[in-house]
A = this chain, B = another copy of it.
């Protein structure tokens, strides 16, 4: 029997606006596939960030809300508390989630909010022109660290998964990457699991996905994949930081 890599119903039939080789597109597909496979597309409400994924409401084939920069977890909380039977996810960049949205993320976790957060860590502010993000690596050049990020001035990369894992209401916290087919498959599994944690009502789930920004890194897309492997993963090790107790 012939099988084909069918386009998921979880995505609307639109072209992405992302730069060539930007892995936001891969992550979109994985999230959409997971929602479709779980059969919850009709009861899903997605919340987009402000960041390059700001137009995600055009892409995901479900009801969508565009949140203010950093506030997606608060918006998602509002939705989920009104509609406890719905499936709610946020899709956020590292500026959105780890800088301006720090409090909203920490407290959605602390409340054990039954939502799923997809956290796209590309070590830079993509949309606004490549400024330093909280996750920018030491030494990394950005438009606001033109001489490379120096810890003495701009501090250290923030390890969101490690931090969120310390919070009691967080049920599932994991870090994956989409820099290779193998890692992409693993990322898919993690995203599926995160939604399952939500469906089981176990608490807050967060999947940190290491992603590329070839444009602002000044690299070709294939070089960018390599940069994830060689530079990012050593600082942001992949793996589970917290798994639900009934699943350890």
Contacts and interface: CB of A to CB of B under 8 A. Distances in A.
B103 A100 contact: yes
A63 B195 CA distance: 51
B134 A156 contact: no
Given A100-B103, A103-B100, A103-B103, A110 B167 contact: no
A106 B163 contact: yes
B103 A156 contact: no
Nearest to A81: B153
Contacts of A110: 134, 155-156, 158
B162 A166 contact: yes
Contact of A106 (B111, B112, B158): B158
Contact of A167 (B152, B163, B167): B163
A185 interface: no
A42 interface: no
A156 B151 CA distance: 33
Contacts of A155: 107, 110-113, 168-169
User: What 9 pairs across the A-B complex have the smallest Cβ distances?
Assistant: A111-B155, A156-B168, A102-B103, A103-B103, A162-B166, A163-B166, A155-B169, A156-B169, A110-B158
15 contacts: A102-B106, A102-B107, A110-B155, A111-B155, A111-B156, A112-B151, A112-B152, A112-B155, A112-B156, A151-B169, A156-B169, A157-B168, A163-B167, A165-B166, A166-B166
